[in-house]
């Protein structure tokens, strides 16, 4: 784990998308030497960065001292790196971790901004920190601490030094990692409940689809649906609490930055919220996803809800039928069910009328 006498460190960020680019700013502000490596999907983003232009996803300039690297330069980007930030989409975590593994000889830890689930070769669903550890082990790399980053930290705000409150979660040394990255504007909280933080990080994207749906209904109809959105928010937190309890995590995590904090900001803006808003305005899930994909807008909540249901069936079948909102979102997104199913799942079940 990092300690104050080791600053500044060489940090390599893998993934040049919005969050990968954005997190370079607080890391530079914290005194570190930062490199940014782009995957084969990031060439146009690296083009802009190397030309001194604002990053196309955040609209912000990167700090001048950030070194940018292209896909074929992974070994050079990781040469001497003491900390690695994995900032690719969830579907790329396994592959990028495997590619990086042979070059992590000096790394002290991996920070993970990616959110979601991943399946192993047997189809067993895992949280992403476990996926990273498994990828390193299979590649013969040393076991490294994996720090999950959650909480309300929108990339465009991080990039321009808006006040931000992320949470770093690690099995050990979370407070040291938080102190290592904290700046005047990027104030990092810490937690030992890594799996709890990661479950919240993965599923807030799913529940944000339902929050966005309420906004879409508001925009499409004559009256706002603010009461509905509040009910969705409360139901989402209750279902997250049940999930954390079943997974032997700290249920109080749900009420902190990783749960309520991240869910609130994701329900206000972001791609998952926009996807849900499109559903509320009348688009089908396929239409909404196709249009957003054409705009290079990844909607992490779409694959995450399918993987989450599989994870439940594999690990916590006792919760099937007790998480109506999660199951309704899956039915709407993957099975073409009407959006009224999400509305009904967010509202209390009527009591039986008696004379």
Say which residue the tokens 């700290």 belong to.
250
Q: Are residues 106 and 218 in the same domain?
A: no
Give the whole-angstrom CA distance, residue 187 versus residue 305.
30
Q: Which of 146, 169, 191 is the last residue of a domain?
A: 191
Q: What string of DSSP letters covers 32-85?
A: -EEEEE--TT-HHHHHHHHTTPPPTTT--PPPTTPEEE-GGGHHHHHTT-SEEE
DSSP state of 256: S
Query: Nearest 5 degrees, angle CA 110-CA 111-CA 115?
Result: 120
Give the whole-angstrom CA distance, residue 49 versus residue 68.
7
Q: Which residue ranges in the chain fall short of pLDDT 70?
A: 1-6, 351-355
Residue 120's pLDDT is what? 87
Q: Are residues 184 and 231 in the same domain?
A: no
Q: Which of 156, 191, 226 is the last residue of a domain?
A: 191
Residue 355's pLDDT is what? 40
Q: Is residue 354 part of a domain?
A: no
Residue 117's pLDDT is what? 93
Q: Which of 191, 209, 228 is the last residue of a domain?
A: 191
Q: Are residues 211 and 303 in the same domain?
A: yes
Report whether 49 contacts 21 (CB < 8 A). yes
Give me the number of domains the chain comprises.
Answer: 2
Query: Nearest 5 degrees, angle CA 181-CA 270-CA 189?
Result: 25
Backbone phi, psi, residue 130, to 5°: -70, -35
**How many residues are recorded in the chain?**
355
Range of the domain at 160: 4-191
CATH of residue 145's domain is 3.40.50.720
Compute the Cα dihedral for 254, 249, 87, 328 and give only its sign.
Answer: negative
Q: Which of 162, 253, 147, 164 is nearest to 200 (CA)?
A: 253
Residue 209, classified by CB atoms within 10 Å of its CB into exposed (0-12), middle (13-18) or buried (19+), is buried
Element (H, E) at 289: helix 285-294
Whether the full predicted model's pTM is greater than 0.95, yes or no, is: no
Q: Is residue 353 part of a domain?
A: no
Q: Are residues 300 and 202 in the same domain?
A: yes
Q: Are residues 129 and 218 in the same domain?
A: no
Q: Are residues 38 and 132 in the same domain?
A: yes
Element (H, E) at 330: helix 324-335
């Amino acid at each position: 784990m990092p300690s104050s006498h080791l600053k500044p460190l060489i940090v390599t960020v893998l993934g040049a998308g919005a969050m990968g680019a954005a997190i370079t700013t607080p890391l530079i502000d914290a005194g570190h030497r930062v490199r940014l490596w782009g995957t084969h999907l990031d060439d146009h983003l690296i083009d802009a960065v190397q030309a001194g232009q604002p990053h196309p996803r955040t609209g912000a300039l990167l700090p001048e001292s950030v070194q940018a690297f292209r896909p074929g330069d992974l070994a050079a980007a990781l040469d001497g790196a003491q900390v690695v930030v994995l900032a690719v989409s969830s579907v790329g975590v396994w592959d990028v971790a495997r590619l990086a593994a042979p070059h992590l000889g000096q790394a002290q830890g991996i920070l993970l901004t990616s959110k979601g689930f991943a399946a192993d070769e047997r189809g067993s669903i895992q949280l992403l920190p476990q996926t990273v550890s498994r990828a390193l082990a299979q590649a013969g790399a040393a076991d490294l601490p994996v720090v999950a980053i959650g909480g309300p930290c929108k990339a465009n705000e991080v990039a321009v030094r808006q006040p931000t409150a992320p949470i770093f979660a690690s099995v050990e040394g979370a407070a040291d990692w938080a102190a290592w990255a904290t700046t005047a504007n990027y104030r990092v909280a810490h937690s030992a409940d890594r799996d709890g933080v990661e479950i919240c990080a993965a599923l807030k994207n799913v529940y944000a689809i339902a929050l966005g749906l309420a906004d879409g209904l508001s925009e499409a109809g004559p009256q706002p649906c603010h009461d509905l959105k509040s009910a969705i928010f409360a139901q989402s937190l209750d279902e997250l609490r049940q999930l954390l309890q079943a997974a032997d995590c700290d249920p109080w995590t749900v009420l902190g930055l990783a749960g309520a904090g991240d869910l609130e900001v994701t329900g206000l803006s972001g791609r998952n919220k926009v996807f849900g808003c499109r559903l509320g305005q009348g688009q089908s899930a396929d239409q909404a996803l196709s249009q957003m994909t054409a705009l290079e807008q990844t909607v992490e909540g779409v694959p995450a809800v399918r993987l989450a249901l599989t994870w439940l069936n594999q690990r916590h079948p006792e919760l099937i039928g007790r998480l109506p909102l999660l199951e309704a979102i899956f039915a709407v997104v993957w099975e073409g069910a009407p959006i009224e199913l999400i509305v009904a799942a967010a509202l209390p079940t009527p009591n039986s009328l008696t004379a």
